[in-house]
Structure 1
Amino acid sequence: MCSSITRRTTRFTRRLLAAVLTLPLSAAGLVAFAAAPARAATPSGATASVSMGDSYISGEAGRWKGNSVVTSGSRASTDRAWTGSAYDPARVYGATYASGCDRSDVAEVRSAPVTQTQLNLACSGAVAANVYRAANGGQSFKGEAPQADQLAAVASQYNVKLITLSIGGNDLGFSDVITTCVSDYLVWYSYCNDDQQAAIDSRMPAAMAGVGKALDEIRAVMSGAGYTAGDYRIVLQSYPSPIPRSAEMRYPESGWSRSDTGGCPFWNGDADWARDSLVPQISRALAGVAASKGAQFLDLGDMLQGREVCSKATRQATSTTAPSATTSEWARFVDAGLSSSQGTVQESMHPNYYGQQALGQCLTLLYARPSGNYACRNTAGQDASGMYLTAK
């Protein structure tokens, strides 16, 4: 009996083996032994650093070297668009001034020459959907394709080493918050922080989901271009506070000096809320998204400390006092409510020429740290060379 069973088992085993050997390797489950398809090679072109996102990284307000209420000529040497006879913002923003993307010549990526090539895809006013690929819900903006689709072309031509993203502020309605707070100061004599906090809280979940999807879209583009995660780095950064807390304001709350000459039309309560509550809240939320998506995080919340618009530690340029990286404000004042408008309102409350050079130094310092999350801060009395990082 055992001998008969053994013979039948042997014949069955031989037939099974013969059948297996006639099948394609994939059908037999032996694909692992076949040669894996080769990964597309990372481009061998020049190394590149790419910035993506909104106005806080596109270079908005890079036209201005500090602030001044001087309205004529070079505006006490603060207006880099002055040609000697007229104002030409294209000298600073190039062709993107016409579209409103306002990519300045000192934008963060341009002020951080960490690679052979620096490419700025960011556009002032962009929301997260302007970063996604068109095939995945991305939207064109100001006459340009979605930024992820632009990145695909860049990634095929250059050896991309660093991608820095600033996005989410417009999804949260940050410009609306500023407009409301200014209006409450100039017109309604009321605080904005109560209703605006509720508005921010209601928008936060969707906004952060959008930031997360933007990071996913960037990863997908890079993977499609043949890059592995180790071939490049993604940095997600937060936003700096352009105004100081009330105790650090150089203009008193009474009267109209904050709006007429200072360009910082905010009540003390709203300034404290923006500096110590709103900006940190957004930074914490962005840090959480970066952690969940494996991106490096750069916290810029305190980057302008002591260099904000109307800060006691700074001063405006005058006809007898030239602007300076060590004494001037590093953010553009609100170009509304002043005795005479100088530039465009959309430049208001953004890092200016000095601030963008400081941001570039922050990015340069971070590039030397291949891992870990950091906050960037300035050193009082020094220019951009005094920027330094602290671990988060």
Structure 2
Amino acid sequence: MRARAGRLVAAAAAMAVGFGGAGVAGVGAGTAVAAQAGPAAVKPLPPELEKIRAAEAVKLYGDAAERPVGQRKTSLISLGDSEIAGEGVGTYEPGTNGPDNWCHRSPEAAIHRTGIPAEVTYNVACSGAATANINIGGTKQYADELVQSDNLAIKARNTRLKMVLLVAGANDDLQFGPVMTDCVTRWFTLQGTCEPKYAPGWQGRVDALVPKVERSVRDLRTVMRDAGYADGDYKLVVMGYPSPIGPDIEDNPNFPGKLPGGCTGYTSDSAWGRNAAVPAFEKGMRKVAADTGATYLDNSRLFHGHEVCMEDTWARGLYVDITNPFPPDSNSVRQSFHPNARGHGAFASCLTQLYASDRREASCTDPASTGQPKLYPLAWDDVYRPVKNAGTGNCVDAKGASSSNGTAVIGWDCNGQRNQDWWYDAERRSVHAGLTQDRCLDVPGAKYEAGAGLVLWNCSGAANQQFVKDAASGSVRPAAAPGLCLTLGSAKDAVRLQKCDGSAAQRFA
């Protein structure tokens, strides 16, 4: 199968990559109402939805009655698009793997795998969904699918929802799937990189989709109020998207090559996706949550170090299913560049930690390549900052805007670019590079000696990646060699270890 699939890869690159989906007219749950803080009387469902609710109640409880809240089973629900539906996992619920429905809902999707106590979990997300398939009065994607807000209205009346999760926006103005398809196609056909084509208008796309996702969030809140819930009765979470690709693939000691590994595309395009396209999208989703009062989970750095073609990848690369449909068409490659089962396990871990916290905003990442995501009670945009040397006035810089292992750390004119952003993890005493959470400041070979130049290396939590900051003096010292200080001797020199002397060259802020 792999050999046959390989012969189809070039043709497959020109097909749509997994986010597309046709919309069909559907039944709406009603019109949006003005925001309100407390619960209202439960509004009756339209007859066609009430019939579905009653049938689902029989399966849950043995009869069709709508139960008081205290007598209902507890539940969780995910809504949105392929990112949370389970596209890319490879195992799908019956009826969602074609030929007439390509929602690709997986039994291994994150909502089914959290540690949040719940008796029932629902995944009504669908690959290809746009906000128009989610909103009140929206359109169906497939004849046998409900508008997602209608599905929420039914589940909210039959169970006691504890968390409503929304992951949406990639299929609106962003058109992430077609963009990804074009970038891959350009690599196969040697047309050149896609960044020049998309970068100039990318922020405009993000700006255009933000109000659409905001409407979706407000509509979901309205659906819950119409079902008798107060806003504080459940947690409404907007989850951001991780980047499935990155430029550091050759750091993988078992790098299989781009074609066998499925990381087909120009490396510089992968860098643009990770360093610019996904961060812009993340900022838009953060704004959505802030403007609507939803809880926000920033996953933009979650897959750093786990991208396609990296070790322990959490995403599926270019993949051709030659058996479904046959002959292959655009649906044959729709699983490409989506979270795999391990990726959904990471989502589930982050969601579990978020639910247990009281945070309205948090970020999740794997801080030391352990495979164990950790929730941070902060927003990455707020903590990554340039670091300036007092002696030269220059900023600490990842040379050449690279994040590969061994990249020199130098001084350079401050320019506001991402390769001059840094974050100090006080708990682990590690200094993370702004380009990727998976690269840390490192003393090469743990050789603590004067003149040693600092580099970036895959974060491991090892002693040679642990540093101590002294707020009073502005010095930064290796935890294992406190008599040495990070030093920038001249404007564009390497950042080196030197004996601590209290000079301006050893002060950073």
TM-score (norm 1): 0.72
* CA distance, structure 1, for counterparts of residue 188 and residue 252 of structure 2: 15
Q: Which amino acid aligns with 1:266?
A: G
1:47 aligns with 2:31: no
* CA distance, structure 2, for counterparts of residue 362 and residue 374 of structure 1: 9
Preserved CA contact (<8 Å) 1:42 1:227? no
* CA distance, structure 1, for counterparts of residue 368 and residue 262 of structure 2: 22
Partner of residue 169, structure 2: 168
Three-state SS of the structure 2 residue aligned to 1:49 is strand
Three-state SS of the structure 2 residue aligned to 1:109 is helix
* CA distance, structure 2, for counterparts of residue 381 and residue 204 of structure 1: 30
User: CA 1:157 to 1:337, structure 2 compared with 1: closer, same or farther past 3 Å?
Assistant: closer
Q: Which amino acid aligns with 1:329?
A: T
* CA distance, structure 1, for counterparts of residue 366 and residue 359 of structure 2: 21
* CA distance, structure 2, for counterparts of residue 151 and residue 337 of structure 1: 32
Which residue, 111, 133, 137 being the options, matches 2:136? 133
User: CA 1:108 to 1:251, structure 2 compared with 1: closer, same or farther past 3 Å?
Assistant: closer
CA-CA distance at 1:113 after TM superposition: 4.1
Partner of residue 190, structure 1: 192
- Note the 1:224-239 alignment, pairs <5 A: 224-239=226-241
Partner of residue 221, structure 2: 219
* CA distance, structure 1, for counterparts of residue 271 and residue 176 of structure 2: 16
User: CA 1:204 to 1:332, structure 2 compared with 1: closer, same or farther past 3 Å?
Assistant: same
Runs of 4+ in 1 over 3 A off after TM superposition: 37-44, 247-252, 379-383
Preserved CA contact (<8 Å) 1:297 1:373? yes
* CA distance, structure 2, for counterparts of residue 370 and residue 124 of structure 1: 31
Partner of residue 355, structure 2: 367
* CA distance, structure 2, for counterparts of residue 218 and residue 229 of structure 1: 11
Cα deviation code 1:160-190 (max 9, x no counterpart)? 1100100001111000111111111111331
Identity %: 33
* CA distance, structure 2, for counterparts of residue 94 and residue 357 of structure 1: 21
Partner of residue 265, structure 1: 264
* CA distance, structure 2, for counterparts of residue 185 and residue 337 of structure 1: 21
Cα deviation code 1:145-173 (max 9, x no counterpart)? 21001100010100011001000011110
Partner of residue 447, structure 2: none
* CA distance, structure 2, for counterparts of residue 170 and residue 198 of structure 1: 19
Which ranges in structure 1 are unaligned for 5 or more consecutive residues? Answer: 1-36, 64-88, 315-327
* CA distance, structure 1, for counterparts of residue 123 and residue 341 of structure 2: 16
Partner of residue 298, structure 1: 297
Preserved CA contact (<8 Å) 2:77 2:122? yes
* CA distance, structure 2, for counterparts of residue 128 and residue 346 of structure 1: 19
* CA distance, structure 1, for counterparts of residue 77 and residue 321 of structure 2: 36
* CA distance, structure 2, for counterparts of residue 94 and residue 113 of structure 1: 25
* CA distance, structure 2, for counterparts of residue 43 and residue 97 of structure 1: 36
Partner of residue 281, structure 2: 282
Preserved CA contact (<8 Å) 2:165 2:238? yes
CA-CA distance at 1:258 after TM superposition: 4.5
Which residue, 85, 91, 96 being the options, matches 1:58? 85
User: CA 1:263 to 1:354, structure 2 compared with 1: closer, same or farther past 3 Å?
Assistant: same
State how many pairs are aligned.
301
* CA distance, structure 1, for counterparts of residue 201 and residue 130 of structure 2: 17
Which ranges in structure 2 are unaligned for 5 or more consecutive residues? Answer: 1-38, 43-67, 323-327, 380-509
* CA distance, structure 2, for counterparts of residue 43 and residue 213 of structure 1: 30
* CA distance, structure 1, for counterparts of residue 86 and residue 115 of structure 2: 15
Partner of residue 335, structure 1: 319
CA-CA distance at 1:195 after TM superposition: 1.5
Q: Which amino acid aligns with 2:163?
A: L
CA-CA distance at 1:370 after TM superposition: 3.0
User: CA 1:38 to 1:120, structure 2 compared with 1: closer, same or farther past 3 Å?
Assistant: closer
* CA distance, structure 2, for counterparts of residue 198 and residue 43 of structure 1: 53
* CA distance, structure 2, for counterparts of residue 152 and residue 222 of structure 1: 7
Partner of residue 353, structure 1: 341
* CA distance, structure 1, for counterparts of residue 345 and residue 94 of structure 2: 18
* CA distance, structure 2, for counterparts of residue 158 and residue 336 of structure 1: 39
Partner of residue 26, structure 2: none
Three-state SS of the structure 1 residue aligned to 2:189 is helix
Preserved CA contact (<8 Å) 1:260 1:337? no
Q: Which amino acid aligns with 2:191?
A: Y
Three-state SS of the structure 2 residue aligned to 1:175 is helix
Q: Which amino acid aligns with 1:183?
A: T
User: CA 1:284 to 1:378, structure 2 compared with 1: closer, same or farther past 3 Å?
Assistant: same
Instruction: Give 1 or 2: higher strand fraction.
Output: 2
CA-CA distance at 1:198 after TM superposition: 3.3
Which residue, 111, 124, 127 being the options, matches 1:124? 127
Cα deviation code 1:5-59 (max 9, x no counterpart)? xxxxxxxxxxxxxxxxxxxxxxxxxxxxxxxx98456463111111000000001
Larger radius of gyration: 1
Preserved CA contact (<8 Å) 1:299 1:375? yes
Preserved CA contact (<8 Å) 2:203 2:280? no
Preserved CA contact (<8 Å) 2:75 2:161? yes
CA-CA distance at 1:93 after TM superposition: 2.9
Partner of residue 378, structure 1: 366
Three-state SS of the structure 1 residue aligned to 2:111 is coil
Q: Which amino acid aligns with 1:290?
A: A
Q: Which amino acid aligns with 1:271?
A: S
Q: Which amino acid aligns with 2:88?
A: A
* CA distance, structure 2, for counterparts of residue 150 and residue 249 of structure 1: 44
* CA distance, structure 1, for counterparts of residue 203 and residue 124 of structure 2: 29
User: CA 1:196 to 1:251, structure 2 compared with 1: closer, same or farther past 3 Å?
Assistant: farther
Three-state SS of the structure 2 residue aligned to 1:201 is helix
Three-state SS of the structure 2 residue aligned to 1:286 is helix
Greater Cα offset, 302-311 or 121-130: 302-311
Cα deviation code 1:268-292 (max 9, x no counterpart)? 2211100111111100110011000
